[in-house]
Amino acid sequence: MPQTFPTGLSIESSDRPDCRVFRLSGELDLLVAGAQEAEFANLVSASPGHTAVLDMSDVAFCDSTGLGMLIRAAKGLWPHGGSLRIASPQEQVTRLITTNGLARALPLFDSVELACQAKDTSPL
């Protein structure tokens, strides 16, 4: 069952053998900061193998606040050898990550399957 935050961001999770997949719907912006970010970080950090894949095919917009949220969630996985991977991002999200030089920290994949199958992408 999807978890919907008061901001309208919806997250549905499912476990795969080597990762947890989070299907996000809505927008990642200033409205998801605060308590929602902490809850999101807790969900991500509990991922099997410390690897989380964000299916962002239904995220049409992400601003710098949302990008910061993703980086902080990824940083929580790195000390455990894990990573946060972005699957199926929309063009705006891809552009935001690549123009800020964050594709190594938040690796981009064309599909959830490719993201789950990828070798360790932790920048540490």
Give tens-digit pLDDT for 92-111.
Answer: 999 999 999 999 999 999 99
DSSP 42-97: HHHHT-GGGEEEEEEEEEEEE-HHHHHHHHHHHHHHGGGT-EEEEES--HHHHHHH
pLDDT at 50: 81
pLDDT of 1: 53
Q: Is 102 helix (H, G, I), strand (E, B) or coil?
A: coil
- Model-level pTM? 0.88
| Residues 42-89 pLDDT 10s | 888 887 778 899 999 999 889 998 999 999 999 988 888 889 999 999
The CATH number that domain 8-117 falls under is 3.30.750.24
pLDDT band of residue 115 (cuts 50, 70, 90) is very high
